[in-house]
């Protein structure tokens, strides 16, 4: 690779980093439920993205790279859970992850409905939770979510619809 090509690649990677650091961190935080692991996950995501950036750019054909970044974070998070599940001294239960995300005081400020929604999200199957995080925390559209999750646009639309419906049912049940 010529030096000027390398410089261009680094410049473009810096732009990607600046544009999506908050997205990756938000995804990581809602996925793992604490700042410490979210920081590790974010760092590892960008380091891995840096290694494979040239290939990803060539294969993206000009499409946005955010789904690719989130997919890296998704895979790393899955590895984190898998590794921890092998170590009984530090158990991590996926259903407890979201309960650690917010304290009622620091985010919802006494708003009961928000608190019920946050509590309800943890009862959703993992795939539905992920889809909701991508849609509502990151503002991704169906196509982006589909690419990040390796699904078709149609399957993603159905997944989101069912996730919202199930969450509404959970939240409205007294």
Partner 1 sequence: MSEMAHTDFEQMLRMALAPIDPPDDLKTRLEFTLQELTDAAVDELEGWELGAMRDPRNWVRPVVATAVGATAGTALVIIRVRAQQKKRAAAARNPLDLVQRTLRAAAGEARKLARRD
Residues of span 100-159 touching partner 1 by CB under 8 A: 107-108, 113-114, 117-118, 121, 132-133, 136-138
Q: Tokens representing 29?
A: 């935080």
* Residue of 82, 70, 86 whose CA lies nearest to 24: 70
Q: Which stretch binds partner 1 (CB under 8 A): 38-46, 68-76, 80-88, 146-154?
A: 38-46
CA dihedral 13, 152, 134, 21 (to 10 degrees): 0
Handedness of CA 23, 24, 25, 29 (dihedral sign): positive
Considering the complex, state which of residue 87 and residue 125 has its C-beta at the smaller distance from partner 1: 125
* Residue of 121, 113, 134, 122 whose CA lies nearest to 164: 121
Considering the complex, state which of residue 27 and residue 147 has its C-beta at the smaller distance from partner 1: 27
Q: Tokens representing 39?
A: 């920081």
Residues of span 40-99 touching partner 1 by CB under 8 A: 42-43, 46-47, 50-52, 54-55
Answer for the pair 27, 134: CB distance below 8 angstroms, yes or no.
yes
Residue numbers of the site for partner 1 (CB under 8 A)?
1, 3, 5-7, 9-10, 13-14, 17, 21-23, 25-26, 29-30, 35, 38-39, 42-43, 46-47, 50-52, 54-55, 107-108, 113-114, 117-118, 121, 132-133, 136-138, 164, 167-168, 171
């Amino acid at each position: 690779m010529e030096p000027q090509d390398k410089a261009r690649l680094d410049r473009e990677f810096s732009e990607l980093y600046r544009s999506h650091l908050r997205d990756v961190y938000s995804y990581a935080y809602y996925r793992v439920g604490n700042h410490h692991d979210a920081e590790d996950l974010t760092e590892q995501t960008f380091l891995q993205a840096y290694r494979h950036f040239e290939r990803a750019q060539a294969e993206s054909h000009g499409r946005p790279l955010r789904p690719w970044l989130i997919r890296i974070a998704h895979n790393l998070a899955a590895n984190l859970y898998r590794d921890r599940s092998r170590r009984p001294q530090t158990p991590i239960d996926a259903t407890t992850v979201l309960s650690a995300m917010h304290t009622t005081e620091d985010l919802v400020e006494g708003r009961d409905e928000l608190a019920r929604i946050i509590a309800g999200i943890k009862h959703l199957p993992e795939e539905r939770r992920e889809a909701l995080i991508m849609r509502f925390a990151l503002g991704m559209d169906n196509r982006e979510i589909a690419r990040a999750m390796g699904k078709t646009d149609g399957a993603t639309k159905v997944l989101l619809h069912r996730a919202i419906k199930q969450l509404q049912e959970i939240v409205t049940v007294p």
